[in-house]
Amino acid sequence: MTKVVADITMSLDGYVTGPDPGPEQGLGAGGEALHEWAFNDDPVDAAQLRTGTERSGAVVMGRRLFDIVDGPNGWNDEVGYGAREAGSPPFFVVTHAAPDAQRLELDFTFVTDGMASAIEQARVAAGTKDVVIMGGGDVIAQALGAGLVDVLHVHLAPLVLGAGTPLFHDTGRIPMRQVDVQVSACATHLTYELG
Amino acid sequence: MTKVVADITMSLDGYVTGPDPGPEQGLGAGGEALHEWAFNDDPVDAAQLRTGTERSGAVVMGRRLFDIVDGPNGWNDEVGYGAREAGSPPFFVVTHAAPDAQRLELDFTFVTDGMASAIEQARVAAGTKDVVIMGGGDVIAQALGAGLVDVLHVHLAPLVLGAGTPLFHDTGRIPMRQVDVQVSACATHLTYELG
């Protein structure tokens, strides 16, 4: 059965980017340290990346994240879903208006009638696989606050950023069940079920 | 060699209490869910409590936390260090002025010349054991920000509180090394080395 999975990397103090994220530095000032786990040879980390990709039947993202991944420093043949163009899932971008152009030759749909609609369209597209909400933090917070997330998958990086984009802005209280924890040399991969 | 260990339970969104903590409800509104791991039969959780107590040669705490543990709903024969009076370590309370009286028959020293002094006095008292900073969040944040912490031990509870006392208020960026992770049924016990 399709689940809606929010999947993101977070610092111990709850930030998913450092200060001033944008097309020039997608993860903000000093934020690249968050993703150190995704660029090493640890088999636990590699398995996280692989299963994360394999279960994605469709991906939901926010407009700011789209602008970053589609921007000149975004995904390419080696990084992100751009690296596996043939097998990429469809992407649903929550936005006020579609962009005039896109760089990546991937299947982007621009959804202008809100988060719930984007998730529903993604659910149809996902078939038996999962819908993965990949960010940014504000989009995941909005989905969490609206009760639209079944599973929260947090890759916990071993640092305190001190500033940046918080993951849990205005979500209110969310009880959860810890269902899986995988530990690698430089991250702790936490899985929680909600609702 | 004595280490300065900050040891505290935190929600996934970085709070160490719910809203409005105080002598009536030490962990704030709904905050008691944070400590669920400390009151069950999971051997991993029990080992965390045991080793945490065993390594404590001296304990540093803030004045608000003292007022809670020494208050009418605080430590007793079953809960907290009050449960093991004979073997309790000395406590160093960072405060502006010593209280007029104390309820608990434990070894409290009230330190009025600041955090660094409290840690130094605790270090002398600890002998070969560790100095444990047990909170509150503001005291740990202050010690972290001042570079006085060697090891950060976070018991990560599976919930988002949405509001309360943040652990990492104004600490700035802190790089760390993940050195141990222990997983129980309802918490993830994270150990980081700093500096």
B146's tokens: 């001042």
Q: Are A6 and A34 in contact (CB under 8 A)?
A: no
pLDDT for B80 = 77
Q: What is the mean pLDDT of residues B115-127?
A: 97
Q: Across the interface, do A173 and B30 touch by the CB < 8 Å criterion? A: yes
A181 touches chain B (CB under 8 A): yes
Q: Across the interface, do B160 and A178 touch by the CB < 8 Å criterion? A: no
Which A positions 112-171 lie with beta carbon below 8 A of chain B? 144, 154, 156, 158-163, 166-168, 171
Of B144, B159, B192, nearest to A158 by CB-CB distance is: B192
Q: What is the mean pLDDT of residues B2-27?
A: 94
pLDDT at residue B103 tops 90: yes
B24 touches chain A (CB under 8 A): no
B4's tokens: 């300065």
B12 touches chain A (CB under 8 A): yes
**Least CA distance to A33: which residue of chain B?**
B175
Q: Which residues of A touch B30 (CB under 8 A)?
A: 173
Give the homologous superfamily in CATH for domain B4-194.
Answer: Dihydrofolate Reductase, subunit A (3.40.430.10)
**Residue ranges of E strands in B12-158:** 15-17, 56-62, 91-94, 108-111, 130-135, 151-157
CA distance A4 to A182: 20
Which tens digit of pLDDT belongs to each residue from A147-163? Answer: 999 999 999 999 999 99
B178's tokens: 């993940």
Q: Across the interface, do B12 and A192 touch by the CB < 8 Å criterion? A: yes
Of A13, A171, A185, nearest to B168 by CB-CB distance is: A13
Q: Are B183 and A169 in contact (CB under 8 A)?
A: no
Q: Are A59 and A14 in contact (CB under 8 A)?
A: no
pLDDT for B26 = 84
How confident is residue B83, by pLDDT bands cut at 50, 70 and 90? low
Give per-residue burial for B1-38: e unless 16+ CB within 10 Å, then b. ebbbbbbbbbbbbbbbbbbebeeebbbbebbebbebbb
Token pair 């991993």 is at which residue? Answer: B44
pLDDT for A82 = 65
DSSP string covering B102-133, please? -SS-S-EEEE-S-HHHHHHHHHHHHTTSEEEE
Of B159, B173, B176, nearest to A174 by CB-CB distance is: B159
Q: Across the interface, do A175 and B12 touch by the CB < 8 Å criterion? A: no
pLDDT for B82 = 65
pLDDT for B84 = 64
Q: Are B114 and B94 in contact (CB under 8 A)?
A: yes
pLDDT for B24 = 84
pLDDT for B23 = 82
CA nearest A169: which of A34, A62, A60, A73? Answer: A62
Q: What is the mean pLDDT of residues B115-136?
A: 97
Of A159, A166, A188, nearest to B174 by CB-CB distance is: A159
The pTM (predicted TM-score) of the whole model is 0.95
How confident is residue B192, by pLDDT bands cut at 50, 70 and 90? very high
Which tens digit of pLDDT belongs to each residue from A61-91? Answer: 999 999 999 999 889 887 777 666 567 899 9
CA nearest B170: which of B140, B148, B141? Answer: B141
Q: Which of A23-27, A163-167, B96-100, B150-154 comes out lowest in average pLDDT?
A: A23-27
Q: What is the mean pLDDT of residues A33-37?
A: 94
pLDDT for A84 = 64
